[in-house]
Chains A and B, each alone.
Chain A
């Protein structure tokens, strides 16, 4: 299979590889996929509590080159966006940017899922945190 130049670039020089502290209230973690299916993505975001802007994003991916590229691209795209803006990212945009062939579309779907899962995790933490703060006051 021939890979697009952008997939090769992300594979060879992946952006934002690493981990954020998953216990921090500012961090949301998304872990999607399954080893049996050959793809697991972990995408983390660090959100500014005042502005809701995603200030940092990290990923780690077990999967084919297209899966690595999709998640690497996803971290680039979410950085600097608010969580609501990040939720607007569609897998089809990832497909277009990376010129993924039809058999690799599931990689882009997984990347979109990873973004949503990370934001969902972060939102859950905010819901828990707020009443607690009120109670403390």
Chain B
């Protein structure tokens, strides 16, 4: 018996009313700038172009004023004081400065660092480099839901541990780590706690005191600010944390980060934080609503769809799902009028599927089949409906093409098949 599958050729898609194609739904990669941020930055390119470090003329003073207003706004959003905010070129630099800066400053005290396997590469690769310099690094596993087990953390801590660095919100699966509890464990043992809060700040309430944070990385372009600017929070008291600089020079930013300040960028970061302070509560409700709508529509239209990571402890705008029997890149090709990311190896430079999903125990097959939807401030309900329809239609089409789907429907246990891999 032969079966002929009439695959529906991919149709040209017409955007429904209120939807402009392509739809951007990759807000964990970066966000568009809020027009209010751009407006605030513009004077600092031409009129107020002064070097914020020029102390003896009005051009410098104008620049400095812009920077200090921004510093207040960043500090306010995260519950810090202005002297605890150091401006950097972004979260990668902030992570490097935090980890390398603490490692060097406290090397007499110990040489052990604890992190987790699902961290961003800016943290993991920084830790790997420190291993070459004689530091000892523990990479904690995560549980099936993506969360670090606090008992594992306690067991990993010893009297040589100087730093724990664990991210607040994961960039792929949006899972939120129990930072307040982690911070408490660190505080009790006199260990410094750094958190990469790139995806969290501006999206969920972040308070460095309530959450026992000592050092924290912040990025502007993940919260509707400009690229190339970020900040590092460094606690000044209870306890006072010191870090060694990794960029030497004119002694800017209280000696912790030399280099002429990126005044327009910093002003933009400040404005982005001010907007977040005002609008975050309302915005996160809206995003969670849109995200849940997307999930419900997709799961209502397809079987064998799996959510990756904890649903409960998750950023409001994140949805990371695996579509069994469909490879991620081919799915992205089919929804090429929608900008999202895939954990498939084919979309990465390394040809390895997502290490974050693998760490959750997701099989390589499902990691290849994963898509990350990142909803943001400018997404609409009409866009969500369009995206859900397109995803359901494309996954259905590709499953008709998939030998794995056919085998699964015939009752073949794919795990027991002896694959003739290359």
Would you list which residues of chain B between 350 and 377 have a CB under 8 Å from chain A? 351, 353, 363-365, 368
Assuming the contacts A34-B419, A35-B365, A103-B351, asked whether A64 and B2 have C-beta atoms less than 8 A apart, the reply is no
A94 at the interface (CB under 8 A from B): no
- In angstroms, Cα B4 to Cα A83, docked, is 22
- In angstroms, Cα B10 to Cα A40, docked, is 22
Give the total of B residues in contact with A, Cβ under 8 Å.
36
Which chain B residues lie closer than 8 Å to A64 at the CB level?
327, 329-330, 333, 344, 346
Give the total of A residues in contact with B, Cβ under 8 Å.
39
Which chain A residues lie closer than 8 Å to B345 at the CB level?
38
Instruction: Name the contact of B329 in the complex, choosing from A18, A34, A65 (C-beta under 8 A).
Output: A65
CB <8 Å contact, A35 and B364: yes
Q: Which one of B169-177, B277-285, B397-405 is at the A interface?
A: B397-405
CB <8 Å contact, A21 and B422: no
Q: Mark B1-23, 1 if CB is under 8 A from A, else 0.
A: 11111010110000000000000
CB <8 Å contact, A40 and B404: yes
Residue of B nearest to A21 (CB): B1
Which chain A residues lie closer than 8 Å to B402 at the CB level?
40, 60-62
- In angstroms, Cα B400 to Cα A63, docked, is 13
- In angstroms, Cα B404 to Cα A23, docked, is 18
CB <8 Å contact, A38 and B419: no
Which chain A residues lie closer than 8 Å to B389 at the CB level?
none
CB <8 Å contact, A61 and B368: no
Which chain A residues lie closer than 8 Å to B401 at the CB level?
14, 17, 60-62, 68
Seed contacts A12-B10, A63-B327; 10 additional CB < 8 Å A-B pairs: A12-B9, A14-B7, A17-B5, A20-B2, A31-B403, A33-B420, A36-B365, A62-B403, A62-B405, A65-B329
Q: List 10 A-B contacts (CB under 8 A).
A: A19-B2, A33-B421, A58-B4, A60-B403, A61-B401, A61-B402, A63-B330, A64-B333, A65-B333, A113-B422
